[in-house]
């Protein structure tokens, strides 16, 4: 901030003129560097409507270093001329002078000097005229005095070519009086205070203007994780659609509920060590609904309920093996079994969003654990058209058009439902997708490790926007 | 989902017409398949091994088609073409017939030694088959596809195919100690014992994957002909003597395995697919299989089954309204020949469709034939009132208020190393009621976490450049062993928060506890309220740990972490933590 004295002297300059003044002229008249005056102009602008300043660019000519030297001490040719005594000078001596080479040829072409090549003792240079007029120096002196306008254009270009002059562009301000012009500066307040309000002194004060181009202060606040924000929205969508949340807080499942109850045969590749995490402790589940287990065994081994079955040797040992659940459908199976134990069947709509685990090869889009979203509807007489309709409604709420790519859907097989004891004629439709995949699509994240796990950059969490799936 | 790769030129030749890529893509979609990729051998090699290696490779265009996992009848060009032609009503689905040769059928005798290793075998003969290079390649490729899919990498079933004219029946399927088995295996120049073969194939990039199936058995399965020639040593390798060539006329096919149903299915698929090239197409010569107990069965089964359904069942399940005749026609187009008989539709399931095991599978085929895109979307009439799971409702509400308290939510993994939950926290793994994983590929997946603290400390470790203080929380499940549960373990919903700064900030984490209690309407104090009481815990700095009691029940701890814990997580600043069980507040 320029001091008030400077500001006021600038203002006094402005006061004297009616239609304004250039900041360069102010600088010359105050004997100050132009940049100092520009600083003062900016400070004055910040005070409000004291002055108006319009930026202008102007070009003018300035001497180069060499040009200034010539203006001071004469042109090279004049210096050569001056160095030659009455009886001449050996050319070799002349060439040793600082201005020798350049000055010699210029003085020769101006016919100020001549050379006697055949002189005894070597070529010798003599004056040809008594006096000379150093025009170059005179022109440069004009420029130095700020009178470059008096020079002809071709002279200026000639001097520019000789690197004695240069044209510079200057940004200056055209300063005129503002609406609240005054030659004195009142002290500006930075902030409104309680004292000013109670005393009413704010009425007489001037307040420093805010810089609205700057950002505000970064707040010290907490943040929710973006994937969990998306989870909240999915829960919301299911709740809006009348779905009840399933208790999925059991990561450990028996193979029985994770696979067998879903009519997945025991040799299925998903039950391979390479795909599923098995437990060493507790390795085996020890309790099953015995009646139901027998029915499951039977439908796998020999069929029933209209099914051929898989016709293989179903083993309880396989079913007892504990796993980290590979899908939340294991919980859906438990819920449907529980539903089947009711006195009377009631239609249900269930959903869940929770972690599932796969012992698979990890890459940019696959982790050993992820969140599965699942929706289930059980009622009499549901159709494939109902499944497609419900999916359409669900994905419309998500704002996702290409939903086929992110999920799976289907109708549960009778071999799964009937052994549970659900009535014939009850159809169960279901669909599932991962929570991570649509989130990555939504936020343009290519590597799942940038979204989930302890390695994520907290800045990403701090910066993540609201989650409104449908907008 | 298996991917079948077929040559575009051969495919269109067999289909008898050309398609543009888009038209063929559309056809696949209508038929329930997906045209995954259009490529060439050259392109594949170039992509996988670099352009240099691809020089000279074939640039004939290949279609890679994704086929549903249980549609074994679509795993080769022959089956795909047959399915598509029937679907487009350009051909009728063939009737596959098992025939008895004029003389006695070939016999395969199973000895009881096989029970110890691989008890089942089935066989069939393709008579007067005409191979071309393309047909031969497809025949080999189908076996490989079956081996990888339904055969579960040869563990359940292994296929052997032989030039019948180089061997002579009766064939014997037996099992012998590996030292007693001596033969020249396929594409080798000398004889090996089975012991030597197993070590030879240890370095074979393809065969080494199958050795484990029998390597620790006392006896290995082997099939001999009547002259003691080895046909094969399933599931590893065939003999060189009986190998099939382009000139082979009569093929003996054997399938051995541990799952008889699958062995029969595999045999049915091979013979139904390739009997097309027999002199009398779609006929297969039977083989008698004699069991150790003297029982004799004839294979291949080529069993046809009839299911009786109604149009009403299909209409109600799919959500359409088609006449019985129309339903029958749709199913016939899916290779399920159907006929209207009064009120019912008789649906014939051919031996190629082992995937159809219930009327619901027939319904699915009807839906495909009708066209999924033609089904009108409807809204289920199911009226329900939704409920949130109380535990999740509490979690959601608390998460928002913790963020409002200035803490940032972390999301960490439920699986971790033993070290994370024990050593690093100053504890002994044997004292921790953790669930252990039997088959982790790396140490990151040894156990399910028993506390959320390691995940938060690792999050700090990965964010050392962030401005201090770091205030983090997570509300999520840990897993604890619990004998009272059917699986012996249960989840527990925890809330964990940490304050990481140049000073420990115990007062901050204590303040957070006070705030959480306020939110949960628990007042400070004895009895009905909450209080904290000095405790000793190796995870915390001595004298800086307290146990939290709510209504006189312990719900967790808070305190300043032990400097050794800080160092073991490779972080540098003091840190205070709060770790509570929120299930008490339900």
Q: Give bridge partners of residue B305 from the DSSP assignment.
A: B349
Do B376 and A277 lie within an 8 Å CB cutoff?
no
Burial of A8 (0-12, 13-18, 19+ CB in 10 A): middle
Residues of A in Cβ contact (< 8 Å) with B491 = 249-251
Tens of pLDDT, residues B38-68: 988 888 888 888 888 778 788 889 999 999 9
Q: Rg (Cα) of chain B, in Å, rounded?
A: 33
Answer for the pair A448, A365: CB distance below 8 angstroms, yes or no. Answer: yes
- Give the chain B residue whose CA is nearest to the CA of A270: B152
CA distance A302 to chain B (A): 11
Distance from CA of A421 to the nearest CA of B (A): 18
Query: How confident is the model over B448-473, as a mean pLDDT?
Result: 96
Q: Does B378 touch chain A (CB under 8 A)?
A: yes
Cα A409-A412-A413 angle, rounded to 5 deg: 135
Of B259, B388, B470, the CB nearest to A267: B259
CA-nearest of B582, B240, B248, B136 to B395 is B582
Q: Which are the contacts of B412, defined by CB distance < 8 A and separation ≥ 6?
A: A453, A454, B452, B454, B455, B456, B458, B459, B474, B476
Whether residue A61 is predicted with pLDDT greater than 50 in this model: the reply is: yes
**Residue B376 at interface with chain A, using a CB cutoff of 8 Å:** yes
**Partner A, chain B 118-157, Cβ-Cβ below 8 Å:** 152, 155-156
A165 within 8 A of A143, measured Cβ to Cβ: yes
Identity of the highest mean pLDDT range in A175-189, A352-366, B126-140: B126-140
Mean pLDDT of all residues in B257-265:
95
Residues of B with Cβ-Cβ distance to A414 under 8 angstroms = 358, 360
**Which tokens belong to B558?**
């808070």
Average pLDDT of chain A, as a whole number: 88
Best of B471, B488, B516, B583 to disrupt the A interface (most A CBs within 10 Å) is B488
Asked if the C-beta of B359 comes within 8 angstroms of chain A's C-beta atoms, the answer is yes
Cβ–Cβ < 8 Å for A390, A376:
no
Indicate yes or no: CB of A458 within 8 angstroms of CB of B375.
Answer: no
Look at B387 and A279 and tell me if their CB atoms are within 8 Å.
Answer: no
Q: Indicate the helix (H) or strand (E) that contains B40.
A: strand B34-40
A460/chain B closest Cα distance in angstroms: 11
Task: Please tell me the predicted confidence (pLDDT) of residue A406.
Answer: 66
Select the more confidently predicted residue: A103 or B414: B414
Out of B319, B435, B462, name the one closest to residue A386 (CB): B319
Q: Which of A52-66, B257-271, B555-569 has the lowest mean pLDDT?
A: A52-66
SS3 A227: helix
Both tokens of A256, joined, read 């029985």
A284, closest residue in chain B (CA to CA): B487
The answer to whether B376 and B360 are in contact (CB under 8 A) is: no
From A237, which residue of chain B is nearest by alpha-carbon distance? B386
Which positions 457-486 of B are in contact with A (Cβ < 8 Å)?
458-459, 461-463, 466, 470-472, 477, 479, 481, 485-486
CB of B429 within 8 Å of a chain A CB? The answer is no
A224–B400 C-beta distance less than 8 A: yes
pLDDT band at A57 (very low <50, low <70, confident <90, very high): confident
- pLDDT tens string B494-548: 999 999 999 999 999 999 999 999 999 999 998 899 999 999 999 999 999 999 9
Q: Which residue blocks in B441-545 are alpha helix, DSSP H?
A: 453-461, 506-519
CA–CA dist A327, A330 (Å, integer): 6
Chain B neighbors of A348, CB-CB under 8 A? 382, 384
Which of A303, A375, A383, A390 to substitute to test the interface with B, most B CBs within 10 Å?
Answer: A383
The partner residue sitting opposite B448, judged by closest CB among A251, A285, A359, is: A251
**Chain B contact set for A308 (CB, 8 A):** 305, 357-358
Whether residue B170 has a cis bond before it, omega within 30° of 0? yes
Q: Looking at residue B282, what DSSP letter applies?
A: T
Instruction: Test B357 with A303 for CB contact under 8 angstroms.
Output: yes
Chain A interface includes B412 (CB < 8 A): yes
Buried b (16+ CB within 10 A) or exposed e, A390-427: bbebbbebbebeebeebbebebbbbbbbbbbbbeeebb
Facing B408 at nearest CB: one of A222, A311, A347: A222
The rounded distance, in Å, linking the Cα atoms of A13 and A21 is 8
Question: Which position has the token pair 């029933």?
Answer: A304
Which one of A227, A249, A414 has the shortest CB-CB distance to B391?
A249
Q: Structure tokens of B29?
A: 């979609």
Q: How far is A167 from chain B (nearest CA, A)?
A: 50
In chain B, whose CA is at the least distance from the CA of A429? B380
Percentage of the residues of chain B whose pLDDT score is greater than 90: 92
A13: Cβ contacts below 8 Å, ≥ 6 apart? A21, A26, A29, A30, A175
Chain A nearest C-alpha distance from B128 (Å): 34
Q: Which residue of B has its CA nearest to A377?
A: B382
Give residue A1's pLDDT band: very low, low, confident or very high (50, 70, 90).
very low
Nearest to B488 among A243, A282, A454 (CB): A282
Partners of residue A247 in chain B, C-beta under 8 Å: 389, 391
The tens digit of pLDDT for each residue in B114-139 reads 999 999 999 999 999 999 999 999 99
Q: Do B493 and A253 touch (CB under 8 A)?
A: no
B491 near A CB under 8 A: yes
Packing angle of the helix pair B390-404, A226-240 (nearest 10 deg):
140
Are the Cβ atoms of B386 and A269 closer than 8 angstroms? no
- A214: distance to nearest CA of chain B, Å? 21
* Confidence check: pLDDT of B15 > 70: yes
What is the pLDDT confidence band of residue A160, given thresholds at 50, 70 and 90?
A: confident
Closest CA to A32 of A3, A54, A62, A55: A3
Cα–Cα distance measured from residue A228 to residue A452, given in angstroms and rounded to the nearest whole number? 10
CA separation for the pair B453, B538 (Å, rounded): 14
Q: Which pTM does this prediction carry?
A: 0.81
Is B409 in Cβ contact with A228 (below 8 Å)? yes
Distance of alpha carbon A359 from alpha carbon A354, whole angstroms: 17
- Yes or no, beta carbons of B462 and A273 under 8 Å apart: no
List beta partners, residue B66.
B3, B34
Interface mutation target, options B384, B418, B581, chain A, most CBs of A under 10 Å? B384
Interhelix angle for B77-87 vs B324-333, to 10°?
A: 160
**At a CB cut-off of 8 Å and minimum separation 6, what does A269 contact?**
A275, B152
Please write the tens of the pLDDT for every residue from A414-461: 999 999 999 999 999 999 999 998 888 888 888 999 999 999 999 999
Q: Which residue, among B471, B495, B491, B352, has the nearest Cα to B414 in the 3D structure?
A: B491
Closest CA–CA distance from residue A193 to any residue of chain B (Å): 29
b/e burial code for range A139-148 (CB count within 10 A of at least 16 → b): bbebbbeeeb
Higher-scoring residue by pLDDT: A19, B475 = B475
Task: Tell which wins on pLDDT, A189 or B374.
Answer: B374
| ipTM value greater than 0.85 | yes
Contact with chain A for residue B409, Cβ under 8 A = yes
**Residue B405 C-alpha, separation from nearest chain A C-alpha, in angstroms:** 7
Sheet (strand A165-177) strand order: A21-22, A165-177, A51-63
DSSP designation for A275: T
Q: What is the pLDDT of residue A65?
A: 85
Token output for A348: 């249900």
> If you average pLDDT over residues A271-278, what whole number do you get?
90
Q: B87-98, pLDDT tens digit by residue?
A: 999 999 999 999
Of B98, B73, B83, B101, the closest CA to residue B28 belongs to B83
Q: Is the pLDDT confidence value at B225 over 60?
A: yes
pLDDT score, position A405: 62
Of the given ranges (A190-194, B55-59, B131-135, B569-573), which has the lowest mean pLDDT?
B55-59
A435: left (phi over 0), alpha (psi -120 to 50) or beta: alpha
Q: What is the rounded average pLDDT for all residues in chain B? A: 94
Q: How far is B76 from chain A (nearest CA, A)?
A: 21
């Amino acid at each position: 901030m320029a001091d008030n004295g400077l500001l006021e002297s600038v203002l006094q300059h402005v006061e004297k003129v009616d239609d304004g003044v250039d900041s360069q002229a102010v600088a010359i008249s105050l004997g100050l560097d132009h940049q100092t005056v520009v600083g003062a102009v900016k400070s004055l602008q910040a005070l409000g409507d004291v002055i108006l300043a319009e930026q202008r660019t102007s070009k003018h000519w300035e001497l180069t270093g060499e040009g200034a030297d010539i203006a001071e001490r004469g042109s090279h040719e004049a210096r050569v001329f001056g160095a030659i005594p009455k009886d001449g000078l050996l050319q070799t001596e002349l060439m040793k002078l600082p201005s020798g080479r350049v000055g010699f040829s210029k003085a020769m072409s101006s016919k100020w000097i001549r050379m006697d090549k055949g002189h005894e003792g070597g070529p010798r240079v003599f004056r040809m005229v008594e006096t000379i007029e150093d025009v170059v120096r005179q022109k440069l002196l004009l420029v130095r005095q700020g009178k470059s306008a008096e020079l002809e254009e071709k002279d200026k270009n000639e001097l520019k070519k000789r690197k004695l002059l240069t044209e510079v562009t200057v940004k200056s301000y055209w300063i005129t009086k503002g609406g609240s012009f005054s030659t004195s500066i009142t002290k500006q307040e930075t902030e409104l205070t309680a004292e000013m309000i109670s005393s009413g002194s704010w009425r007489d004060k001037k307040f420093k203007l805010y810089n609205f181009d700057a950002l505000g202060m970064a707040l010290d606040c907490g943040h929710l994780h973006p994937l969990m924000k998306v989870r909240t929205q999915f829960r919301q969508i299911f709740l809006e659609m009348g779905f009840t949340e399933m208790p999925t807080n059991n990561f450990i499942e028996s193979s029985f509920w994770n696979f067998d109850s879903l009519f997945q045969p025991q040799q299925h590749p998903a039950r391979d060590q390479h795909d599923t995490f098995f437990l060493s402790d507790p390795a085996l589940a020890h309790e099953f609904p015995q009646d139901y287990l027998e029915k499951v065994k039977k439908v796998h081994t020999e069929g029933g309920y209209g099914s051929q079955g898989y016709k293989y040797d179903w083993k309880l040992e396989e079913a007892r093996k504990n796993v980290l659940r590979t899908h939340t459908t294991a919980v859906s199976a438990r819920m449907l079994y529980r539903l089947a134990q009711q006195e009377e069947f009631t239609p249900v709509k269930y959903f869940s969003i929770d972690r599932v685990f796969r012992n698979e090869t990890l890459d940019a889009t696959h982790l050993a654990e992820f969140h599965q979203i699942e929706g289930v509807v059980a009622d009499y007489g549901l159709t494939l058209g109902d499944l497609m309709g419900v999916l359409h409604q669900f994905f419309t709420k998500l704002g996702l058009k290409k939903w086929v790519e992110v999920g799976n859907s289907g109708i549960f097989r009778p071999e799964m439902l009937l052994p549970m004891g659900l009535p014939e004629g009850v159809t169960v439709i279901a669909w599932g997708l991962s929570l991570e995949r649509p989130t990555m699509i939504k936020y343009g994240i290519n590597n799942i490790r940038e979204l989930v796990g302890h390695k994520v950059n907290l800045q990403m969490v701090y910066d993540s926007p609201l989650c409104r799936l449908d907008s | 989902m298996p991917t079948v790769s077929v040559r575009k030129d051969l495919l269109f030749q067999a289909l008898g017409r050309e398609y543009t890529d888009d038209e063929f893509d559309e056809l696949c979609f209508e038929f329930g398949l997906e045209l995954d990729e259009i490529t060439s051998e050259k392109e594949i090699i170039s992509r996988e091994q670099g352009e240099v290696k691809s020089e000279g490779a074939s640039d004939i265009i290949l279609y890679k088609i994704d086929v549903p996992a249980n549609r074994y009848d679509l795993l080769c060009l022959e089956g795909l073409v047959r399915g598509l032609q029937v679907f487009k009503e350009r051909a009728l689905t063939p009737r596959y017939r098992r025939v008895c040769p004029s003389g006695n059928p070939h016999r395969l005798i199973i000895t009881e030694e096989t029970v110890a290793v691989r008890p089942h075998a089935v066989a069939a003969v393709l008579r007067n088959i005409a191979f071309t290079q393309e047909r031969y390649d497809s025949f080999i490729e189908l076996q490989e596809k079956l081996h990888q899919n339904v055969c579960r990498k040869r563990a359940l079933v292994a296929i052997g195919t032989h030039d019948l004219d180089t061997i002579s029946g009766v064939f014997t399927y037996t099992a012998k100690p590996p030292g007693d088995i001596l033969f020249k295996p396929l594409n080798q120049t000398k004889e090996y014992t089975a012991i030597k073969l197993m070590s030879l194939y240890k370095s074979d990039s393809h065969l080494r994957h199958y050795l484990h199936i029998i390597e620790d058995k006392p006896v290995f399965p082997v099939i001999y002909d009547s002259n003691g020639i080895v046909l094969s040593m399933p599931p590893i390798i065939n003999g060189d003597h009986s190998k099939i060539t382009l000139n082979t006329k009569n093929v003996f096919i054997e399938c051995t395995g541990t799952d008889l149903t699958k062995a029969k299915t595999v045999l049915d698929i091979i013979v139904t697919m390739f009997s097309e090239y027999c002199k009398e197409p779609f006929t297969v010569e039977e083989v008698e299989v004699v069991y150790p107990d003297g029982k004799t069965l004839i294979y291949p089964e080529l069993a046809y089954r009839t299911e009786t359904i109604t149009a009403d069942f299909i209409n109600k399940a799919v959500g359409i309204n088609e006449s019985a005749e129309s339903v029958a026609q749709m199913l016939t187009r899916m290779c399920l020949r159907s006929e209207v008989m009064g009120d019912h539709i008789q649906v014939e399931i051919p031996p190629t469709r082992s995937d159809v095991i219930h009327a619901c599978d027939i319904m699915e085929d009807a839906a495909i034939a009708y066209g999924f895109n033609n089904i009108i979307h409807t809204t289920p009439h199911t009226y329900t009132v939704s409920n949130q799971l109380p535990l999740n409702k509490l979690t959601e509400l608390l998460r928002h208020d913790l963020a409002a308290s200035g803490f940032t939510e972390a999301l960490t993994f439920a699986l971790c190393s033993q070290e994370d939950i024990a050593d690093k926290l100053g504890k002994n793994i044997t004292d921790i009621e953790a669930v252990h994983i039997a088959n982790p590929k790396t140490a990151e997946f040894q156990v399910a976490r028993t506390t959320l603290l390691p995940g938060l400390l690792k999050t700090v470790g990965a964010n050392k450049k962030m401005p201090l203080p770091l205030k983090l929380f997570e509300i999520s499940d840990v897993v604890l062993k619990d004998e009272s549960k059917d699986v012996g373990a249960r989840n527990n919903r925890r809330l964990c928060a940490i304050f990481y700064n140049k000073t420990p900030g115990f007062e901050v984490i204590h303040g957070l506890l006070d705030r959480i209690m306020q939110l949960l309407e628990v007042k400070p104090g004895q009895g009905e309220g909450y209080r904290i009481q000095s405790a000793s815990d190796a995870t915390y700095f001595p004298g800086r740990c307290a146990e939290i009691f709510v209504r006189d029940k312990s719900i967790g701890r808070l305190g300043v972490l032990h400097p050794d814990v800080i160092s073991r997580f490779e972080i540098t600043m003091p840190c205070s933590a709060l770790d509570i069980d929120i299930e008490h507040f339900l």
